[in-house]
Structure 1
Amino acid sequence: MKGYPKRRSIALAYTLPSVRMAKEWAKKDKEVSNFYYDLTPANRDHLIQLISTITGVDYAVIDGYMSEMETDEELRNHLAQYMKASRYGDDIEIAYGRRLGWYAIARIKKPKVLIETGVDHGVGSCVLASALLRNSSEGFPGRYYGTEIRSEAGALLAGKYATTGRILYGDSIQSLSAFNEPIDMFVNDSDHSGEYEYREYQTISEKLAPEAIILGDNAHVTDSLSRFSRESDRRFVFFSEKPLNHWYPGAGIGISFRP
C-alpha cells in the first residue's frame, strides 16, 4: 500500500507516547476513575486567559488564586491522608487539573451558595470548600452543598472543610427540586448522561442568582450545557484540558454565564 509506512509513522508519533505512559501507569496502584494530573504550563495559561476574558479579572489575580491552591499544603495533606487511610491507591498523587479553574472561579465570584452535583470521594468538594474558606476569611462567607446518590461517597469532606456545608444524599434532581436558596455557582459532575445533565440545568434554572455561573464537568462529552445556555440566553465557552505527562487525553470545563 503506497505511503503506508509513512502514514503509520506519523500516526504512531502522536499515539505511542500515550500508550507508553499508560503501560507505566497501569503497573502502579493508581486511581481507576477521576484521574489526577497537572495541566501543561501552556494549558494552565490558556485557562487563566479564558477566566480573565469571562470575568474581567486581571491575569495576575487569577494566576495568584491558582498558585494559592497549588501551594496549599494543608489541603494536599488532608487529601493524601484520606487516600492512604482508605487504601484507594497507594501510588496516588493528588493533582488538580481543571479543578484549578473551579477554585479560581469560586475565589473570583465569592458565591454565597455553591452547589456541586456528584461528589464521589470528595476531592472537588474540598477544592471548592477551600475556596469558600478563603473567601470567608476575607469577609465573603459562602455555603457548599453537594448532591450524591451514594451514601458512602463524600468521605473527604471532613474536618474544617465540612464546616462550609454538607452533602445532600439522594437523587440529584430531587435534591435540587427541594432546594430553595438562590444559587450563585453550580458545578455539574453527577450522572454523565446528557439528558440527566440537562434536567439538572432545567431544575435549577429558576433558582439561579442573576450573575450565577455554571460549570459543566461533562461538556467534553455532551452538548447539554451549551444547549441550556442557548435556550436561556446565556453565553457558553469550553476549556479543553491538556494533562501533563499523563496518558488520559483530558476532559474540560463548560462555562455558562451572563456577561
Structure 2
Amino acid sequence: MDATTLRRAIARTRLAPVAAFPKRLARVARHDAKVIRTTTRWLFTSREHHNYTYDLTKLSRQHLAWFVSVVCDVPVKQVRAYLDEIESDDTLRGHIEQATAGSARRGLADRQVRYARRIGWYAIVRATRPAHVVETGVDKGLGSCVLAAALLRNAAEGHTGRLTSLDINPEAGYLARTAPWSEVVDLVIGDSIASIGALDRPVDLFLHDSDHSRAHERREFEAVEAKLASGAILLTDNVTHTNVLAEHAERTGRKFLAYRETPRDHWYPGDGIGVAW
C-alpha cells in the first residue's frame, strides 16, 4: 500500500483527527510566528496608536483599481494611472514627511508616508471631478491632503473643486494647513451634524470618516442627504464594521459596493471603502 492510499484509508477511520493534528499544528504555528514577528516589529518601529497607516498588498491594490473602475465607470487602465499618480507625487510626500517631523504630535505619528485605501479616494476624485467634496473626520489630515491633491490635479485640467473638512478637534488637520493643498481646503471645527446642516453649496462627494458608531454614521448620511447634488457619491470608511451605508443606499434607491483592503506587513486587518451611487 502506497502512502497516498494509506492516508486515504486513515481519513475514513477514527484515527483521522489524530493523524491530521501534526499538519494542522504546523500550519497554525507558521501563522502565529508570522503574526508575532509583524506585531513585534510594529511595536518597536511605529509610533502610531490609532488610525494606522500602511501600504496595500499588490493584490489588494489591483482589486482597488477594479473597484474604482466599476464605481466610476472609467477604464481600469486609467484608474491605475491615478493610483500611480498619487503614489509618485514626491512633493506631497515630502511635505507630509516634513510636517509630521515638525508637528507637536510627532511622538504619535510615523514619518513614513503610507496611504493605503486613501489612494482609492484619490482615484475617485480624479475620475469624477467633483466641485465640492465633504469629509467628516480629519485627524492629522493625511486623507485631506490626498483629496486636496486630487482636486489640485483636476483644477490644472480645468475642473476646479473644493474640500470641506469637518472635525470636532481644533488641533486636527495640521498636514493640510500648508499651500498649495490648503488653498482648496476649508477646515471647519465643530460637530459634524451641525456643520453639515450649515453647508451652503451642494455636495458632489461625501466621505464619512468621523465617529464610527452606527448611530452617528447614520445621522451623518441622513443629514447630508438634503445637501447632495444630483448624481452625488457617498463614501464610508466604516464599511468593515457596519452596514449603515448599504442600508441607506437601499432606502434611497442607490447602488452599493464595498472594498476591503489588505495591509502589507502590518498586524492590523485593514479597513475598506463603502460607496453608494
CA contact (8 A) 2:133 2:204 kept: yes
Q: Which residue of 1 aligns with 2:266?
A: 246
CA contact (8 A) 2:48 2:109 kept: no
Mean CA deviation greater in 100-109 or 207-216: 207-216
How many Å separate the matches in 1 of 2:191 and 2:116?
27
Q: Which residue of 2 aligns with 1:7?
A: 24
Q: RMSD across aligned C-alpha pairs, in angstroms?
A: 1.5
How many Å separate the matches in 2 of 1:233 and 1:16?
47
Q: Which residue of 2 aligns with 1:214?
A: 234
TM-score w.r.t. the length of structure 1 is 0.95
- Give the C-alpha shift of residue 202 in structure 1: 0.2
Q: Which residue of 1 aligns with 2:12?
A: none
Q: 2:158 aligns with which of 124, 134, 139?
A: 139
CA contact (8 A) 2:165 2:186 kept: yes
Give aligned-pair identity as a percent. 40
Q: Which blocks of at least 5 consecutive residues in structure 1 are unaligned?
A: none
Q: 1:169 aligns with which of 174, 179, 189?
A: 189
CA contact (8 A) 1:83 1:89 kept: no
Q: 2:71 aligns with which of 48, 54, 58?
A: 54
Q: Which blocks of at least 5 consecutive residues in structure 2 are unaligned?
A: 1-16
- Give the C-alpha shift of residue 83 in structure 1: 1.1
- Give the C-alpha shift of residue 5 in structure 1: 4.4
Q: 1:46 to 1:29 in 2, by over 3 A?
A: closer
How many Å separate the matches in 2 of 1:199 and 1:89?
30
Matched, 1:20 2:40: no
Matched, 1:65 2:85: no
- Give the C-alpha shift of residue 231 in structure 1: 0.8
Q: Which residue of 1 aligns with 2:47?
A: 30
> Is the radius of gyration larger for structure 1 or structure 2?
2
CA contact (8 A) 2:93 2:113 kept: yes
Q: Which residue of 1 aligns with 2:200?
A: 180
How many Å separate the matches in 1 of 2:31 and 2:125?
36
Q: 2:141 aligns with which of 122, 133, 147?
A: 122
Matched, 1:45 2:45: no
Q: Secondary structure at the match of 1:88?
A: helix
The aligned amino acid for 1:136 is: A
CA contact (8 A) 2:201 2:227 kept: yes
